[in-house]
Amino acid sequence: MALEFTDDNIKGIVNSGQPVVIDFWAEWCGPCRMIGPSIEELSKEYEGKVQIGKMNVDDHVDTPSEYGIRNIPTILFIKDGQVVDKQVGAVPKAVLEEKVKALL
């Protein structure tokens, strides 16, 4: 299951040494719900290799502001504590998986 990222736990996760994928989303966002299953599947497939999770922008506002998130869904791909790629909008799982593979 995808991790639940919060304003409180995000810094420790990003600085854990593992690659991180953050899906910024909200309940009311249709495209967010479309990619949700892909995020869940990827989190299972890459468990132990990449920390993949979701952050609800309605519940956590500090982190999205820090990363300059203006649209959702936005997915950040982080390696060594730095954002190395970003995907804005809903895309097929294969697109996300290519970006996850590039982190490894």
Catalytic residues: 29, 32
Structure tokens at 40: 């869940």
What whole-number distance in Å separates Cα of residue 90 and Cα of residue 53?
16
Give the H/E segment covering residue 79.
strand 74-79
